[in-house]
Amino acid sequence: MHVLVTGSSGLIGSEAVTFFDAMGCRVLGVDNNMRADFFGEKGDTTANRQRLEAQCRNFEHMTLDIRKRRDVMELFATRQIDLVIHAAAQPSHDLAAKRVFDDFEVNAGGTLNLLEACRQHREHAVFIQVSTNKVYGDTPNRLPLVELATRYDFAHPALLAGIDESLSIDHTTHSLFGVSKTAGDLLAQEYGRYFGLRTGVFRGGCLTGPQHAGVELHGFLNYLVKCAVEERPYTIFGYKGKQVRDQIHCHDVVNAFWHFAQNPRPGEVYNLGGGRDNAASLLECVNLIQLTTGTRPTLSYDPTNRIGDHICYYTNMAKFRSHYPDWYQRYSLEQIIEDVVRAHAHAGLGTR
């Protein structure tokens, strides 16, 4: 099998490279390290690319900008491609508001380029669109919530399994990032439903793992661990630090993609996250990290919440599990934190 991975030096992309390389697939990774442009030196993914080139026998890297339609068309016309994992993105709410054209041209325009190139030249390939739960905008904040000592949670018993795909994406504030990702999400759905392309859309929550280049504007858990092990300042934005996210390890994410690829359902949409068992508030994550490292960040509080930020969000995976019952979630929240902490130790940060 020939696998194309966009954003191959990022979190999900690099995990996909490792996963499919280990299966013996030929993996072509496309990445132009635009994350360094977006986030500066701390977002640079060069080390991740070099690690993949050193460790993966069946991996080839290509520097390519998915915004350049002609280059994308040539790629699909000249290379064998059986599976596309489209993980390249501009991933930050805050940055999207500052660089509106870059955000939309990457997340929406780049996705359109890839889908159309796939339709014209590799129509039998499976196409995985890595979307986001931000397509729901701030609608989750209008769900009935209860405030507990260290977290918010859903007040209605029917929601305690998490948020499913029936939640509306309309009449809500998305942030410009949410808008551009929603455009890519809908495009991938339509190429499946209208053209019959074998697309699958995965609306991820907090996707994380040891190779995440976490920064303040994106990569919450990884950046929080980094601040904790270095005992650096960390600013909580709004909601008293009680905002809740569910974490899912990048291996479990890519394994879900693989299960879909073996029996694709064109145009289907799935929420993808760690679920209630892997859900914790920011404050609770600080305490869990401290149990592992013995250290914690120096917390400060800014009462201004980020526009479109979710107060409480965790994922109902029932639909995906019903379609792909052989998939299972390997990593608990505690195991994810241990994995991320271990990665920082290997990077020379260590614990004190």
Do 152 and 311 touch, CB atoms closer than 8 A? Answer: yes
Q: How far apart are CA 138 and CA 143, in angstroms?
A: 10
pLDDT at position 351: 39
pTM: 0.94
Do 76 and 38 touch, CB atoms closer than 8 A? Answer: no
String of DSSP letters for 63-97: ---TT-HHHHHHHHHHS--SEEEE------HHHHH
What the chain holds in terms of domains, given with CATH numbers, is 2-346 (3.40.50.720)
Q: How far apart are the first and last CA of the chain?
A: 45
Q: How far apart are CA 218 and CA 273, in angstroms?
A: 17
pLDDT at position 349: 43
Q: Which residues of 135-146 are buried (b: 16+ CB within 10 A; e: fewer)?
A: bbbbbbbeeebe
SS3 content of the chain, % helix, strand, coil (to 5): 45, 20, 35
pLDDT at position 136: 97
pLDDT along the chain (352 residues), means of 10: 97 97 98 90 89 97 98 98 97 90 97 98 98 96 97 96 97 94 98 98 94 68 89 93 96 98 98 98 96 92 87 98 98 95 71 38
pLDDT at position 306: 81
Q: How far apart are CA 325 and CA 319, in angstroms?
A: 10
171: left (phi over 0), alpha (psi -120 to 50) or beta: left
pLDDT at position 352: 37
> In 214-281, which ranges are E strands?
233-237, 244-249, 268-272, 279-281
Retrieve residue 303's tokens: 């009462």
Note the Cα 215 to chain centre separation in Å. 14
Task: Check residue 133 and report its DSSP letter.
Answer: G
202, β-bridge pairs = 130, 270
